[in-house]
Amino acid sequence: MIVGVLNQKGGVGKTTIAVNLASCFSRSGRRVLLVDADPQGSALAWSAARQVDPDFVVVGMAKPTLHREMPTLAKNYDMVVIDGAPRVNELGRAAIMASDLVLIPVQPSPYDVWAAAETVQLIREARQFKDSLRAAFLINRKIANTAIGRDFHAALAQFPETPVLDAALIQRVVFAESAARGLSVLEVAPRGEAARELQRLADLIIADKERQAA
């Protein structure tokens, strides 16, 4: 299964989500490939900052031909996670076309709702060529017990074909602390709340994979 983490808006936490999802999948015993499709190379920089290699493979491929090369890349892995590029439509389209499931991280902010429309439109266009493509919003950096967090689902309802996952990630310091050390949250605090939230997200994706295979 190929999971693209994409949003045409920058700064929504795509790399953090992609890296930690790859870690979750790998720790469950799956063969995992993390593809850095962002010209900024943030996932590659995370890998280079580590003292030891991660327990999954990280490659860079910020290329508009990604969707054509992905079948060959993915064939030896159980799960592939693509860290997509912001504001680059050609690369964004390629990453979307390469994916089975697109996660759209959005922060609980009106700006993110407005920007989400562009990503949803790219997915609509891609479905004309790949009707099996699935997509869902992932609320990231949610601030617990606030009205804007509760009301955010209603704002995203203007995109009825794109559901909101029941697996929000709360804003927590451990995400930044682990990234700065070239580690995943599961390596730094495997029994913490953030790790549990990430595992719930990974479990939902695996369940989706199993439903599609059934």
CATH number at residue 64: 3.40.50.300
How many H helices and E strands in the chain? 9, 6
Residue 157, CA distances (Å) to 117, 164, 181 in order: 12, 9, 37
Q: How many residues does the chain have?
A: 214
State the average pLDDT for the chain. Answer: 90
- Give the pLDDT of residue 27: 93
pLDDT at 83: 96
3 state SS for 111-138: HHHHHHHHHHHHHHHHHCCCCCCEEEEE
* Rounded Cα distance, 197 and 206, in Å: 14
pLDDT for position 88: 67
C-beta pairs of 121-125 under 8 Å, 24+ apart in sequence: 122/8, 122/89, 122/92, 122/93, 122/96, 123/96, 123/162, 124/161, 125/93
> What is the residue type of 16?
T
CB under 8 Å to 131, separation ≥6 — which residues?
Answer: none
pLDDT at 145: 66
| Dihedrals phi, psi of 57, to nearest 5 degrees | -90, 135
Rounded to an integer, what distance in angstroms lies between the CA atom of residue 114 and that of residue 84? Answer: 19
Q: For residue range 16-61, list pLDDT tens digits in order.
A: 999 999 999 999 999 999 999 999 999 999 999 998 999 999 999 9
User: Is 14 strand, coil or helix?
Assistant: helix
Total tally of structural domains belonging to the chain: 1
pLDDT over 80 at 176, yes or no? yes
pLDDT band at 135 (very low <50, low <70, confident <90, very high): very high
**pLDDT, tens digit (0-9, with 9 covering 90-100), for 145-166:** 665 556 677 778 889 999 999 8
pLDDT band at 86 (very low <50, low <70, confident <90, very high): confident
Q: Could you list the residue range(s) of the whole structural domain that residue 132 is in?
A: 2-213
d(CA 81, CA 21): 8
Model pTM greater than 0.75? yes
Q: What mean pLDDT comes out for the span 153-180?
A: 89
Mean pLDDT throughout 68-87? 93
